[in-house]
Amino acid sequence: MAESQGVAPYGLRCDHRVRPLGIDEAAPLLSWRLASGRRGDAPAAYRVRVRAEDGEQVWDTGDVADPAAVGARYQGRRLRPRTRYRWTVTVTGEDGASAERESWFETGMMGPAAWTAAWIAHDPSDLDVVDAPEEGALALTDHGLQPAVRLRRAFAVPAAPVRARLYVTARGLYEARVNGVRAGDAELAPGWTDYRDRIDYQVYDVTDLLRTGGNVLAVTIADGWWSGFVGFDPRRSGAHYGTFPQLLAELHLFHADGTSDVVATGGDWQSARSPIRYADLLMGECHDLRRETPGWDLPSGGAGDEGAGADVPGAGPWRPVRVTGSDRSRLTASVAQPVRAVRELAPRSVTRVGADRFLVDFGQNFAGRVRLTVRGASRGDRVVIRHGETLDDDGALYTANLRTAAATDVLIAAGPAESVFEPRFTYHGFRYAEVTGLSTLGTGDITGVVLHSDTPWAGEFTCSDPDVDRLHEAIGWGQRSNFVSVPTDCPQRDERLGWLADAQVFLPTACLNADVAAFFDGWLREVRGAQSPDGAFGNVAPRLAGVADDGAPGWGDAGVLVPWHLYRVYGDERFLERNLDAMCAWVDHVHRHNPDLVWTRRVGPHFADWLAPAPTPRDVLATAYFAHSAELTARAAEVVGEAETAGRYGVLAEHVRKTFTERFVTPDGGIRGDTQTAYLLALAFELLPADLVPGAVRRLVELVREAGPGLTTGFLGVSLIAPVLDAHGHADLAHALLRRTEPPSWLHPLRHGATTIWERWDGYTDERGFQAAAMNSFNHYALGSIGEWLYRGVAGLDQAPGSVGYRELLVRPRPGDLTSAGARYESVRGTVATRWSRRDGAFHLQVTVPPGATATVHIPADDPGGVREGGVPVAEAAGVRIIGAEPGELRCRTASGEYRFTAELH
């Protein structure tokens, strides 16, 4: 088909992922983005066609006249399990020309009934006692650390299959290999879920790894979140999920003659303890290379193969596995991108600090591990790697803030031959690594390996202030470090929990930095799963026994705020459909326990405005969230067509707002507690009658100015302060807060070497040194929620109120005293971008609007009549319509395309 140079689809996705290999969704969302080289282009219609791998057409939408569409939910014939489907989308522009793109997706098991495999494990009695580690290794056996174990199954095939898929998961962590080659590149798989409710599985294409004759499927499994240290509770037998790791896998082989075979986990597998003497996400990993048995994962390399079968010296004999059960009811295909090793960091410096000890600075705080090359070691030599985020005042590794997390990896050498050590079942949050046990260490011998969920990076921001650029980079690194399977609070200490408040306040920033639709779709399953029978959301998700209880204001409310924001950003109504019942149950829970509409009854813990220098009264904060959650639940119900539900929660929201004003607000707009956060919540959540808004704004401004100008907010208020000040005409104060360097401020940590966002405003000060180590992470993201305003405010890249999926843009830069800024974002509709600068006596603004979208553009201009676009008066520019002018600003409406505005400044 001939394609036009106009509107065309690109970036095809299935359920927000590019060519997913293994989905269980019966009606996936097939979506695309739009681009055009011509101004004013817009789509008029689309057509989606889906074919199975045998060529059968299973769905054809026909031509659908919907200029707003950038996706369609599958409504064809029932999808078959373990089948690849190819799909095409054809987009027709308003000019009648069409363009087409193709992609594919593949189904997984499509339900528990399709599985035949059993859960298997190494004999647990052989894991009860770990050999006491020699001097130099971690003495952690008191905590019940277990070795990672190896499982293998040899099999033969008469001819290499034409297609092979491995469907695999674990209670614990796994790494699978076929004939000695790793299957896929997922790290820390299958990821963290509440295993009592759901266990994700992954699918790998291993066709090219199989061969005619003998083959072997080999898997190493370790404790992970299932049976290792999780959170800040000590490990107790069965306290969280389980006591020892287990594997479930099926290898499906499809042959040229149309037949197929399945190699599934069961009693015919064998297992042995591995050279990994212990592996724990918080404590670290120990590899004893003396126990390594090369070829164990190859045919003729292990028990049951011809010419093999001897015991593994020092690692325990191969023995039959124990079948631990056949419950497959909780298995679901993973919906999010996996954790991957996404980047490598060379050390900034390697400094000798002792005869056999070196301090390595990677120049960046991150989540991951190191890869270390060791040469010339004697058999039994021990190399110990400790990790830390910063250095103490004496220049030594600072680890006090890790609390009980040892964050220590150990290599026991087998001899002088070169070896490469890289842990596989742990990760750490660190910038510095202390390496002990080597006589030499060069910068080329050690590498930092960055791990995080592989959410595609979608946003860019830059400005004329290098400090603000560094802040944006630090925010991004905080996001990467803490989006590891779930959105954690911190990657370094004995916590790493999916705190709901941290996620909800940072979500708007996260969505602008990266495409997190699939990531949060997966996590919201855990949020729903953690909801109590009474309707209370947990404070953390996945739920963890004995940790954090339920329902704190601002924490539990994430179960409402997160789905709503995801819907607005990605335009996928399923975020609301899947969560609406849980949203209603949460609001009902709060209402039931607080029938007078003031949230005072403590059903669970109350964290208030966490770590705020000026505490906000708890009932004020809680009631504000009560009203906001009720209002968003009403809006969500309206979107999905539940009119009665929408009306009911809309009335409740109005009553809570009225009660908030009656109980907490004075006639001049003052709010009880008189804190920045109290005013921010009331203004951001639109809780006040219109006549009280000016007084509340006035008092907020006074509080900000009295503080320096400065911040006195904690986790819940920090995300609101710049947007609220800006929305009420005080962008100058938002800029003043952005550029402040004394604590509390965003730039204070950067002046002390921070490369990620700190948990506390004053995590370290010159006067007091380190804050209390019990609560002092140097890699949190909550306070980094200012990142949203960098895009929306400073660069001026925003959605119009009420817009969904960036169909209506709002471009309104707030320059402050900066001379330039810009942002670019890959939205679900296509690329949106702004870039502005003040130079040569003029304000220059570039705007990019994707096909089918429009933009309202605010141009700072001393003389609105003198604004030009592309060299011509703006009134004559194609695709531009003037909608308002006043001293200092011109407002225009644009169609899609690229625009370059210039306004003279006096």
Burial class (CB in 10 A: 0-12, 13-18, 19+), 882: middle
Cα gap 453→341, rounded to integer Å: 9
Q: Which amino acid is at 359?
A: L
Give the span between the Cα atoms of 385 and 347, in whole angstroms: 15
- Taking CA atoms, 194 is separated from 121, 525, 529, 539, in Å, by 20, 10, 8, 14
* Among 625, 729, 619, CA closest to 673: 619
CA-to-CA separations, 582 to 405, 536, 547, 784, in angstroms, rounded: 34, 9, 21, 28
8-state DSSP, 303: T
Q: Which whole-number Å values give the CA distances from 828 to 49, 68, 168, 831, in the listed order? A: 20, 12, 31, 8
Distance CA 577, CA 232 (A): 34
Q: Determine contact, residues 361/431, Cβ cutoff 8 Å.
A: yes
3-state secondary structure (DSSP) of residue 4:
coil
CA distances in angstroms from 530 to 235, 535, 559, 563, listed in the order given: 21, 10, 10, 15
> Residue 568 has which token pair?
């607005």
Please give the Cα distance from 530 to 539 (Å, whole number).
Answer: 9
CA angle 217, 218, 221 (to 5 degrees): 140
State the DSSP H helix or E strand holding residue 47, giving kind and residue range, or none if neither.
Answer: strand 43-52
Task: Return d(Cα 528, Cα 538) in angstroms, integer.
Answer: 9
Bridge pairing between strands 842-849 and 831-839: antiparallel
Tokens 């220049």, residue? 395
Count CB-CB contacts under 10 A for residue 853: 26
- Using H for helix, E for strand and C for coil, what is the string for 108-172? CCCCHHHCCCCEEECCHHHHCCCCCCCECECCCHHHCCCCCEEEEEEEEECCCCCEEEEEEEEEC
Cα–Cα distance measured from residue 674 to residue 668, given in angstroms and rounded to the nearest whole number: 12
Cβ 791 vs Cβ 510: under 8 Å:
no
User: 119: which 2 tokens?
Assistant: 């859960």
| Rounded-to-integer distance, Cα 663 and Cα 650, Å | 20
Amino acid at 124: P
Which of 250, 495, 631, 642 is labelled catalytic?
495
| Residue 825: strand, helix, or coil | strand
Contacts of 149 (CB under 8 A, 6+ apart): 121, 122, 127, 220, 221, 222, 245, 271, 272, 273, 274
**Residue 759 appears among annotated catalytic residues:** yes
From the list 532, 648, 554, 547, the residue with the least C-alpha distance to 607 is 554
| CB-based contact 343:480 (threshold 8 Å) | no
Distance CA 859, CA 232 (A): 51
Burial of 473 (0-12, 13-18, 19+ CB in 10 A): middle
Angle at 55 between CA 49 and CA 60, to 5 degrees: 20
Catalytic position from the list 175, 759, 788, 869: 759
Cα–Cα–Cα angle for 232, 235, 237, rounded to 5 degrees: 150
Residue 42 and residue 897: Cα distance in Å, rounded? 10
Residues with catalytic roles? 495, 759
